[in-house]
Amino acid sequence: MSARSPVTCHILDTQFGKPAANVAVTLFRLEGGGSSFNSLAESVTDADGRCTTLLPPQTLMAGTYKMHFATKSYFESTGRETFFPFVEIVFDLKNPDQHYHIPLLLSAFSYTTYRGS
């Protein structure tokens, strides 16, 4: 088992080329035979746009997970409007021994993600 959260994230505001701080992040796991997501953890990105302590060090079960990023309040705090009130990234955690890093490259009218390291 790793000595860090098994799932972490990082948000970069690509319009400014700077981290997106103070964005609420929630991690969910798909339960009930695929019928509903249950909340596992909540946190907020730090000054570097990272959420590295979302969960305590542990081994998660393989399954389908979802990261919810509350982007509307972030954009409002910077005086900008956004097309996306939130962003959700659904991913399969297939190997519980691995670390899963979810980067979000964000602007007011687009976003992209990838599996980070």
Q: Is 4 annotated as a binding residue?
A: no
The CA dihedral of 103, 106, 84, 6, to the nearest 10 degrees, is: 10
Residue type present at position 115: R
| Residue 114 is labelled as binding a ligand | yes
Contact indicator for 55, 7 with CB cutoff of 8 Å: yes
Q: Is 10 annotated as a binding residue?
A: yes
Binding residues: 10, 50, 114
Binding residues for substrate: 10, 50, 114
